[in-house]
Chains A and B, each alone.
Chain A
């Protein structure tokens, strides 16, 4: 089955610690995205990557970092510099290219709680 996986499903972190959220896809999609969702708010873009070894900041990149060393993988690190990291983190991917390659598919999400 093709799809996007995220791990872990739930993550607890102490203040001051960095944590890395995993996102893997076997859809052969070129582009990948990280969003955060807070209660009552729309999804906000953290980082995105359109091809391997390239990524761009989204609207709320401060306190986060990413890498894209493989097409299938786009891990997100939440650093201690992120002031309010407790949120629901969603990874998505798109086939890319022109035409109808812009449909986003989402992973199941990671719920991060800072203690």
Chain B
């Protein structure tokens, strides 16, 4: 089993739709979680970080389920500009150390 797993997609959704991605992780002691957006041939850009149960920023909501070891990203009212790959990253380090494990990403295409 991979340490961090994401459905690669692509998820093709119409503009205005709500779409959700899941990311599962193997280490139950993981402390922090991140969603990044990566456009084609560009660097990952931080979308949001999650340290407790979840986080919300405008149309984007991340929720953490520690019991089932997954973190989700919900995008409401999808825009064409949301088309990108979304990377899930888990910090599996302990005692203040960092060990980042990256998922392979989920591709989203928002269609007009």
Contacts and interface: CB of A to CB of B under 8 A. Distances in A.
A44 B3 CA distance: 13
B36 to A, nearest CB: 8
Main secondary structure of the interface of A (DSSP, over half): loop
Interface stretch (B14-22, B59-67, B68-76, B99-107): B99-107
A90 to B, nearest CB: 6
B41 interface: yes
A100 interface: yes
Contacts of B87: 42-43
A106 B44 contact: yes
Given A41-B104, A42-B102, A102-B98, A108 B42 contact: yes
A55 interface: no
B102 A106 contact: no
B26 interface: no
A33 B103 CA distance: 17
Contacts of A90: 43-44
Interface size class of A (residues with CB under 8 A): 20 to 34
Given A98-B96, A100-B49, A102-B98, A42 B43 contact: no
A90 B4 CA distance: 20
A94 B46 CA distance: 12
Nearest to B6: A42
Nearest to B34: A103
A18 interface: no
Interface of A: 31, 33, 40-45, 88, 90, 94, 97-98, 100, 102-109, 111
Given A43-B102, A102-B93, A108-B43, 5 more contacts: A42-B103, A104-B89, A104-B100, A106-B45, A108-B42
